[in-house]
Structure 1
Amino acid sequence: MPKKIIAMKKLLLLISLFGLAPVLKAEDSTMVRLKRFFTNISAYDNMYTQEKVYLHLDNNGYFPGEKIWFKAYVLTAGRLLPTDLSRILYVDLLMPDGTVWDRKILPIHNGRTYGEFDLSDLLRTGFYEIRAYTRAMTNWDAAYVYSRVIPIFNPPKDTVSFAPLDLDLSAPLFKNRLRRSQQAAPLIAPSAQQQKGHILTFYPEGGNLVKGLPGRVAFKLTDGRGLPIEDELVVCGNDDRQIDKVRPRHEGMGLIELPENWSGGYAAIAGEKGEMQRFPLPKAVEEGCTMKVESDSNGDMKVIISPNDRMLNRKLGISITCRGMACFFDTVNTDRSCIIKKIPRKQLHDGILQTTLFTSEGQVVCERLSWCIPQKPPLVLATRQSGTSFQPFNPIALEFYLKDQSGVPLEGDFSLSVQDCAGNIAESGADLRTDMLLCSDLKGYIEHPEYYLASNDEKRLKDLDLLLMVQGWRRYEWKQMSGVRPFKLKQPAEDKQIFDGWVVDMSKKQRPLPDFNLSMLLVRYDGISSFKFSDTKTNADGSFAFSSDEEIYGDLLGSFVATNDKDKRLKAHILLNRNFSPHPQPYEWLQYRYFKSPKQLPESVVRTPETFKWIDTLSKVRHLPPVKVAEKESRFTPPFGTRWTYYGGENAARRAHSCIYFNIEEELQQYLDSVGFEPDIYDWIEQVMPDFTHEKDQPGKLTYRG
């Protein structure tokens, strides 16, 4: 009998072990998938390194005839160090309608370059956009390239006080030609709700409200133009019972606290005539977790995760990244109602942190942006000047001292712009530190970004947290970083100059020509120098690429020769891959703000300068060589004709009477790289401006149908 009992126990044990085996196998499979995500995220920054650009301008606003001087800083996004990825920077000056007025292609050395835009021949004043990017940056969302909108004012009548200032905000006549809306438009999230002058967007903390759990919902309230307003929100349940009343805390942003028994409801706002406008709050999901992120005085981070009943007993992964770089990984077992993860400050990076909770199937459960206070103390740049006020054309002597917090002198280079305090005519925009740590990781225009980083007091940190909570976009998407969503680079990083494209036949189908020999020769217009490239073969899709370690800039004439294996020349179209500039983004109303007259800086921010004695040894006399006038020039000089020369020449006529502008060089380049041959000018005008037609039998005649 005892032997039977022992045998029965062995049998039961074997059955139990066999029953446990699938569970262990499932757990192993879950861990394998979570580890794969961890591995992909760790490698993301090295495999797909992103870059950031910042432009330091010499002024905040300009007049026609001036120059925009700038110095550019190009850094790797993750470590914020001078880039070693790209050697070429593209800087565009865009007209208000989105047309590229001018483009600079500049060499990058040690993450820096510089240049200027000449505003002498502008057709009209208005709000122009300066944007800067490397070719590698165009692989991601165009909203994250460097962009700044600057006002270019009409020449002032009073050149002493420069008041009042005005500029041209009229829209061009042919609106179907515009590459962006001439009317400013707010950046609206897909979940935004609009009603009679109010735009209200809700952002549940972590991404979702969860049934059975208390929740927090951030919101952003603006008027119909996207300008922040401070109207009160009345929060009610589905039974119309009032839960709370809240007002925005800062720049139209606020926070709503909801109880755990929340079953749905709305927020109401009083309209212009006193009527209550209802905005439904987001619905709670049946299964999920809430996640809060907190930091203590030491900078240590605490992540609080609360699963609801349907999410219990699951193994999840948690990752913390900063600008695409991995900071922290761990697994989370949802075996209790509240799980707390503590992360020491030394594992985190300065700036915006992205905390993501996810399943082994690659689904994001919740995600949160938070701020990690920069730990490294900033450097101290002290200045002294040769006086406190200066007369026009007087020399100014400056001394600079760069030290660390301990007072130890340091070496470095910097850029400097000097402006008259009485000539402050537009917002100065973000500085390098604010842009790199904050603005460049967020989408849309941020008004007064310097406010959030001015100090680490409690109010500013709460306002900054609100700013991060109302971000419906991510510069670094978790599914892309983890490999859940495949990502392929479309444009290369130009660590050297690259000339690439495709060779296609001359048919309308543009069939690729593979395995053909291709040679390229570049010659400067002045004929002084030329660049010959080694032959290359086209790939299966007809693509090719030439590269050069030499810096080749300026105006050059290029010629290509395509031959087959028998060295026989072929007729073909060469399509170059150079139309990768981002599509122009619409302006926001906040970017249309400027001062009607120069704005004096408040006394609270104007400090008394430290001065030193300096003796002016510069000569005040300039001896000019004699000039002999051979003939008095007539003011009615061809080829501009008599009338318009009298009123200022061709440029004056263009500014006074032109209603639309074409950058023919840019337009022709785009056309050639898509079609392969030069168009007939009248056919091209019909294509880009459908309001015009021309008759084939009447060359030179255009008919406007508007």
Structure 2
Amino acid sequence: MNKRIGLLLLPAFLCTAAWLPGDPLPAITRVIDKFRKTYPQEKVYLHTDKPYYMAGDTLYFKGYVVNAEKNLPSAISNVLYADLIDEHQHISHTLRSPVTDGMATGSMALPDSLPPGNYRLRAYTAWMRNFSSDWFFDKTIPIGSSSNTQKATDKTSRPAVTQFFPEGGQMLEGLPARMAFKAVGSNGRSIAIKGQVTDETGTAVVPFSSGFGGMGSFVFTPQPGHVYTAGITYANGATAQVSLPQALKTGYMLAADNRDSAQVKLHIATAGVTAGQATLLGLCNNKPFFSTTISLLNGEASVNISRNKFPTGIAQFTLFTAEGIPVAERLVFVNHHDTLHVAAATDKKVYRPREPVTLTLTVTDIHASPVSGNFSLAVTDAGMVKPLQPEDASIVSSLLLTADIRGYIEQPGYYFTGDDTTRANDLDNLLLTQGWRRFSWTALQANQFPPIAFPAEKGLALRGKIISATGKPLPGARITLLPQQGDGYMMDTVTGTAGEFVFDDVQFTDQSSYVLQTPLATNSRATIQLNEWLAPAVLPAAWHNNSHEQALQHYITLNQPVLAAHRKQQQDAGRELEEVVVRSKRQSRVQEAVAPSLNLNGPGQADQVLTYEDLKNCHNLASCLEGRITGVRFKFIEDKSIRPSRVVALQPFMASGFNEQPMTVLLDGVEMTAATGLDMRSFNAADVQSIEVLRSGRYLAAYGTKGGNGLLIITTKKGGIDYDKVNDQSAQTNKLPEGVLFVKAMGYSAVREFYIPDYAVDGGKDIRSTIYWKPVIRTGENGTATIQFRNADNTGVHQIIIEGLSDNGKPAKQVVTYEVQ
């Protein structure tokens, strides 16, 4: 995703009104404190069991949801969303997972029909949607298929491009300036370049060449009245001319020297500025860690800041004028090398196929003290799945770096694999060239804070409103949520002043079926409108970068036997299904009509059955049923608490019953009662597919006390039948009784348990790319955990990848290997 922006929007800053007269620092501090407390930020990281997959695989993941300020498990959101996005920016799969103590688990079954390509795995919370989607977790997941020779490769083709970024946001005439650059090739990956800066006369000024990631920087002094151009030669021999940003006559510059192990050295320079003071503010994850008022001597000043003032991560330094206008910004990375150490020891170095493995984890901090935390583990066959490289992305590089930078970061793990000067300089170049900010100083200064369109979710919710017959919102109306089947529970609430309602923390699972119902007054017919859940917009990715192409093809080749066995199982299942379909065509019209019934005795197992054919030319269901159902009478229910009394409902009763209680009515499995507005007059006969009447004890016994007064089981039309052949008026409109709404809600997605065959039952060959997946591992106060699993029939080197987070927000990654012979 192309998220690259300039570091500063200087014209916008300069046009903004200044802070109130006096020292601007208190006002600056107040506004940033308000932002971070009112809008706490979240980060998400997903640990997947493999870096790439093939159609037919199951993708397993562990989600880490943290508060961005300290990387502690987030207490903000309890629901995590994960989208699988194809190369056409379409969402192929969406999952919802419950978040407990900042952790979530999930799985995606990738169908065999899934087209190959470079997919994106995107994860976020509802709260994160209030801010830019740039801060969502977004990872490229190549997916291949042996049934299609198309490779999961980059389908985009763009010209190579090089961008230049002045340190701090701008250059000033006559002052030394650092200019950073980044070169990206036509495939979206970095490309090596070299070149020469010249002025408008063609005079050479300074040469330059790129280092890691196609990035680099150089220092030169732009002279008044001159224009500078970079002549570039790419690694493939192509050439280009790029104009450098124009140096300004007046303004501010902010430069940083991040090479000292004890302190960060900042230098401020100005041109054409008469003010004698400026303010410097240092943030990390939106929290202030340093601030000072600076006296400018001859327009310059230097500030040395102890690195110990900041935690590990990106430090953002912003320079403000004496009036409080932000004019320059610089990012530096502070690294205390305080990530966790994970010692992972297997009980043996060499195993046999199917032999059990005992793995002991010992997690300690920088002081060698034991650490409690939450971790996840994947064991893969290194011969089938490309071993994780040190430069690959991990929870460490994500939470400490990429989650706080806009734009695609190539091989982010590279910056955390050593402590040498070269890597430190490369990381500094990265921060000079990548746009970054979770907020705009201009907006905060104007007291413009983000609107909260998506409240933090403590659970899944159903939201909507009730509209009266006149089309106006209906306040103060009671609405009930009932499960259509299963072990769900009933909830009710009352609408607000705008007719709105919300059911919080509803325990949906997958595609759950619920009924929303509101009692109906005789002079009013209400309509229930449910808010539609829409996924965040999918913005085009900057590049479909696939560094696993060859490894993916190798993986597909080795997985052929597994895929063949899987397809044979599907073919066998398909033949069985065809036989079922053939038999179903021989069903009678009655059997066909009652097939979707939720009758506990079985569809059609009742004392009397009526179908849509029996309701031909009916409009009001109660009037149609009167006299057609044996042993049932319909009785008007009066409200005698008012004078004169008023009929409020028409309900069915057993004709021979001595108990003056109505029969139980089940509408598509949901019990309709007087309390929830049961009125047989409100049912449209054209919507009914079948009615089953239960009067005798042999059928009522299955319903216990609910069957004490008899049952009517009403099943609405489900489609798949040509109703028009027998009833011209029963077109398949699927209209529902007024005041009733059937809901198919996407709930928490079921997590597929990682499959481990029982060798006592299944003695076939067991070859798997993922040998073991365990998403939840807890280390206690002693910092240890023991995991046991069994090898498959794979031989060769196996790789164990451990990722996780301590209870105090420190990330960890470890990779170890063992061998199976």
Question: In structure 1, how many angstroms separate the alpha carbons of the residues matched to 2:185 and 2:473?
Answer: 56
The CA deviation at 1:50 is: 0.7
1:416 corresponds to 2:377: yes
Partner of 1:128: 119
Mapping 1:265-276, distance limit 5 Å: 265-270=228-233
Q: How does 1:23-62 map to 2 (within 5 A)?
A: 29-31=20-22, 33-62=24-53
Distance 2:219 2:105 in 1: 49
Identify if the C-alpha distance between structure 1 residues 266 and 533 changes in structure 2 by more than 3 Å, giving closer, same or farther: same
CA distance in 1 between partners of 2:375 and 2:545 (Å): 30
Aligned pair in 2 of structure 1 residues 234, 407: CA closer, same or farther (>3 Å)? closer
Which of 300, 309, 314 matches 1:352?
A: 314
Aligned to 1:495: 458
Letter in 2 for 1:207: G
- SS at the partner of 2:541? coil
1:381–1:401 CA contact under 8 A, matched in 2: yes
* Alpha-carbon offset, residue 268 of structure 1: 1.1
2:93 and 2:523 map into 1 onto residues whose CA distance is: 40
**How far off its partner does 1:414 sit?**
1.3
Contact 2:232 2:240 in 1 (8 A): yes
Q: Cα deviation per residue 1:574-614 (whole Å; 9 max; x = unaligned)?
A: 241521424243251434642246889xxxxxxxxxxxxxx
Q: Is contact 1:520–1:558 with CA below 8 Å preserved after alignment?
A: no
Q: Is the 8 A contact 1:524 1:555 kept in 2?
A: no
Partner residue, 1:530:
489
**What is aligned with 2:270?**
307
Q: Larger relative contact order (C-alpha < 8 A, sep ≥ 6)?
A: 2
What letter matches 1:594 in structure 2?
E
The SS at the match of 1:419 is strand
Q: 1:474-521 CA deviation, whole Å, 9 max, x = no partner?
A: 3343334555544322211113443334556899xxx8x446234443
CA distance in 1: counterparts of 2:406 and 2:166, whole angstroms: 18
- Counterparts in 2 of 1:125-274, with a 5 A limit? 125-155=116-146, 167-169=150-152, 183-184=155-156, 197-261=159-223, 263-270=226-233
1:253 Cα deviation after fit: 0.8
Change beyond 3 A, Cα 1:529–1:198:
closer
Measured in 2, the distance between the counterparts of 1:598 and 1:224 equals 23
Q: Which moved more, 1:518-527 or 1:353-362?
A: 518-527
- Cα deviation, residue 28, structure 1: 10
2:476 aligned with 1:517, yes or no? yes
One-letter amino acid of the counterpart of residue 71, structure 2: L
Residues 461 and 506 of structure 2 are in contact (CA less than 8 Å); yes or no, is this contact kept in structure 1?
Answer: no
With the length of structure 2 as denominator, give the TM-score of the two structures. Answer: 0.61
Give 1:339's aligned residue: 301
Equivalent in the alignment of 2:86: 95
Q: Distance in 2 between matches of 1:57 and 1:311?
A: 53
Instruction: Give the distance between the partners of 1:598 and 1:554, measured in 2 at CA.
Output: 33
Tell me, what secondary structure is at the counterpart of 1:460?
helix
CA distance, structure 1, for counterparts of residue 231 and residue 505 of structure 2: 63
Q: Once structures 1 and 2 are overlaid, which stretch shifts more, 127-136 or 87-96?
A: 87-96
Equivalent positions of 1:439-450 (< 5 A) are 439-450=402-413
Verify the 8 A CA contact 2:43 2:65 in the aligned structure 1.
yes
More strand by share: 2
**Contact persistence 1:516–1:563 (CA under 8 A):** no
Q: Secondary structure at the match of 1:556?
A: strand
Amino acid at match of 2:511: D
Residue by residue over 1:378-415, the C-alpha shift from the partner in whole angstroms, topping out at 9 and shown as x without a partner, is 33221221333344433222122223345444433311
User: How far 1:550 sits from its partner (Å)?
Assistant: 5.9
Q: Is the partner of 2:429 in helix, strand or coil? A: helix
Secondary structure at the aligned position of 1:537 is classed as coil
Aligned partner of residue 78 in structure 1, secondary structure: coil
1:411-560 equivalences under 5 Å are 411-425=372-386, 429-482=392-445, 485-501=448-464, 513-514=472-473, 516-539=475-498, 544-549=500-505, 551-560=507-516
Measured on the aligned residues, the alpha-carbon RMSD in Å equals 3.6
Provide closer, same or farther for how the CA distance between residues 289 and 32 of structure 1 changes in structure 2, counting only shifts above 3 A. Answer: closer
Distance in 1, matches of 2:285 and 2:344, equals: 33
Amino acid at match of 1:184: T
Gapped regions of structure 2 (runs ≥ 5): 1-16, 556-571, 584-730, 732-821
Is 1:280 aligned with 2:243? yes
Question: Does residue 378 of the first structure (1) align with residue 339 of the second (2)?
Answer: yes
Is 2:19–2:445's contact at 8 Å kept on the other side of the alignment?
A: no
Q: 2:663 maps to which residue?
A: none
Q: Secondary structure at the match of 1:59?
A: coil
Structure 2 CA distance for aligned equivalents of residues 347 and 153 of structure 1: 48
Query: Matched residue of 2:53: which SS?
Result: coil
Inter-CA distance 537–80: structure 2 relative to 1 (3 Å threshold): same
Pick closer, same or farther for the CA change 1:561–1:538 going to 2, 3 Å: farther
1:323 pairs with one of 285, 308, 312: 285
| Cα shift at 1:114 | 0.5
1:588 counterpart (509, 529, 543): 543
Q: Give CA deviations for 1:104-130 in whole Å, capped at 9, x if unaligned.
A: 211111111101111235432222221
Count of residues in Structure 1 that have an aligned counterpart in Structure 2 = 550
One-letter amino acid of the counterpart of residue 114, structure 1: T
Q: 2-side partners of 1:271 and 1:322: how far apart?
A: 36
Structure-2 change in CA distance of 1:278 and 1:401 (3 Å): closer
Identity of paired residues, percent? 25
Separation in structure 2 between the aligned mates of residue 364 and residue 460 of structure 1, nearest angstrom? 30
Aligned partner letter, 1:526? Q
Q: Retained in 2: the 8 A contact 1:62–1:152?
A: yes
CA distance in 1, matches of 2:379, 2:86: 26
